[in-house]
């Protein structure tokens, strides 16, 4: 049985006839049912969450300052209050909670001054959960995206592929993973789409949707954007990319909830599950040493 159809996945990714039965329980909320059907079919949703225009502009200005640096920064929410406000925007949290039926929390931001030109990958290679797929990304355009600026790309429907891990590769590594993924996407006939979003629009992608960045045909053009990664309460959070398939040992995480300002323990039905002590302390020190004073 494909991962996508495992009954432990979010309700909208359950196998038939479970999915239809689940939909029927929610007929009082037709908007949710429509969103769930689209999300199940394509693995993404483009929405307008009503971000404050000032927050978009301030986050754009902050992101523009990254041009001279690597052009990309992780956890810019620690430096820019506007980046944090976008990541913790209540309508996004409410929507995700309604869709996944678990509380969503942002645990990482990435800001890009230019198109990332990243090869297609799924977030499940970096961050997954048990039960699986309780993670998503929200990509926000901080300016209108130009086709020459290396837009985000994605493969509609590709989230239904199995979750690929190092166990699928001969030697673990990103190059091999990228080649393997491209082969799988082509073999299954998925077609690539580019996200020419307008300033302020957001694209929600599900954990296993394959996505990346188009080449930049005009290297002077910016593509100011922010991705926030969200987890959902009540899971074991882990890092498949770091796990060794030979031992199958899960690298457990203790993510930091940017909205509530606290670390969230992984948990299963028996209670909390913690990362190894050294990893746990290192992550805690790395975050707490940099918690911003503006908040
Ligand atoms: O914005 C992009 O070009 C890709 C971002 C991405 O792949 C990610 O954040 O996982």
Assign 286 a pLDDT band (cuts: 50, 70, 90). confident
Instruction: Give the pLDDT confidence score for residue 246 in this predicted structure.
Output: 67
Report which protein residue has its CA nearest ligand 1's atom 9: 227
Q: Atom of ligand 1 at shortest distance to CA of 213?
A: 3
Phi, psi (deg, nearest 5) at residue 224:
-65, 120
| Average pLDDT in the chain | 92
Q: Atom of ligand 1 at shortest distance to CA of 121?
A: 7
Model pTM score: 0.94
Q: Which H or E element spans position 233?
A: none
Chain-centroid distance of CA 191 in Å reads 20
Q: Atom of ligand 1 at shortest distance to CA of 123?
A: 10
Assign 97 a pLDDT band (cuts: 50, 70, 90). very high
Q: How many residues in total does the chain contain?
A: 295
What contacts 99, CB < 8 A, 6 or more positions away?
10, 12, 32, 35, 36, 39
pLDDT at 295 > cutoff 60: no
Quote the CA–CA distance of 95 and 247 in Å, as a whole number: 38
Please list every protein residue whose CB sits less than 6 Å from any atom of ligand 1: 110, 112, 115-116, 118, 123, 137, 152, 211-213, 225, 227
Instruction: Give the pLDDT confidence score for residue 160 in this predicted structure.
Output: 95
Report which protein residue has its CA nearest ligand 1's atom 10: 123
By most ligand atoms within 8 Å of CB, the mutation choice from 109, 110, 125, 127 for ligand 1 is: 110
Q: Atom of ligand 1 at shortest distance to CA of 112?
A: 1
Q: Are the beta carbons of 254 and 266 closer than 8 angstroms? A: yes
Quote the CA–CA distance of 45 and 34 in Å, as a whole number: 11
195 Cα: distance to centroid of ligand 1 (angstroms): 11
Cβ neighbours of 187 (radius 10 Å): 9
Least confident of 77-81, 144-148, 291-295: 291-295
In the chain, where the domains are located: 3-288
18 Cα: distance to centroid of ligand 1 (angstroms): 32
- Write out pLDDT tens, residues 224-264: 999 999 999 999 999 888 877 666 678 899 999 999 999 99
By most ligand atoms within 8 Å of CB, the mutation choice from 123, 138, 227, 228 for ligand 1 is: 227
Bridge partner residues of 237 (DSSP): 129
- Write out pLDDT tens, residues 263-281: 999 998 889 988 889 888 9
Assign 7 a pLDDT band (cuts: 50, 70, 90). low
Q: Which H or E element spans position 231?
A: strand 225-232
Report which protein residue has its CA nearest ligand 1's atom 4: 212
Quote the CA–CA distance of 226 and 63 in Å, as a whole number: 8
Quote the CA–CA distance of 73 and 75 in Å, as a whole number: 7
Report which protein residue has its CA nearest ligand 1's atom 3: 213
Residue 3 token pair: 């991962």
Report which protein residue has its CA nearest ligand 1's atom 6: 212
Fold classification of 3-288 (topology level)? Jelly Rolls (2.60.120)
What contacts 113, CB < 8 A, 6 or more positions away?
63, 64, 66, 67, 71, 72, 222, 223, 224
Instruction: Give the pLDDT confidence score for residue 1 in this predicted structure.
Output: 45
Residue 192 token pair: 């690539």
16 Cα: distance to centroid of ligand 1 (angstroms): 31
206 Cα: distance to centroid of ligand 1 (angstroms): 13
């Amino acid at each position: 049985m494909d991962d996508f159809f495992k009954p432990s996945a979010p309700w909208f990714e359950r196998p038939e006839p479970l999915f239809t039965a689940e939909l029927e329980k929610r007929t009082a909320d037709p908007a949710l049912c429509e969103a769930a059907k689209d999300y199940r079919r394509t693995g993404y949703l483009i929405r307008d969450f009503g971000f404050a225009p000032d927050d978009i502009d301030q986050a754009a200005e902050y992101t523009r300052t990254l041009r001279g640096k690597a052009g990309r920064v992780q956890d810019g929410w620690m430096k820019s209050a506007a980046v944090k406000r976008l990541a913790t925007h209540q309508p996004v949290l409410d929507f995700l909670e309604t869709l996944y039926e678990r509380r969503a929390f942002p645990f990482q931001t990435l800001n890009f001054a230019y198109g990332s030109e990243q090869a297609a990958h799924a977030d499940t290679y970096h961050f997954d959960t048990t039960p699986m797929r309780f993670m998503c990304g929200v990509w926000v355009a901080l300016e209108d995206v130009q086709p020459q600026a290396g837009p985000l790309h994605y493969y509609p429907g590709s989230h239904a592929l199995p979750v690929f891990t190092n166990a699928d590769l001969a030697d673990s590594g990103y190059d091999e993973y990228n080649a393997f993924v491209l082969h799988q996407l082509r073999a299954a006939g998925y077609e690539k789409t580019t996200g020419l979003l307008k300033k302020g629009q957001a694209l929600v992608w599900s954990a296993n949707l394959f996505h990346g960045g188009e080449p930049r045909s005009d290297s002077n053009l910016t593509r100011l954007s922010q991705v926030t990664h969200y987890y959902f309460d009540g899971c074991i959070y882990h890092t498949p990319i770091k796990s060794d398939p030979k031992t199958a040992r899960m690298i457990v995480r203790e993510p930091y909830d940017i909205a509530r300002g606290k670390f969230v323990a992984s948990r299963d039905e028996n209670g909390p599950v913690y990362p190894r002590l050294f990893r746990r302390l290192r992550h805690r020190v790395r975050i707490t040493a940099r918690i911003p004073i503006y908040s």
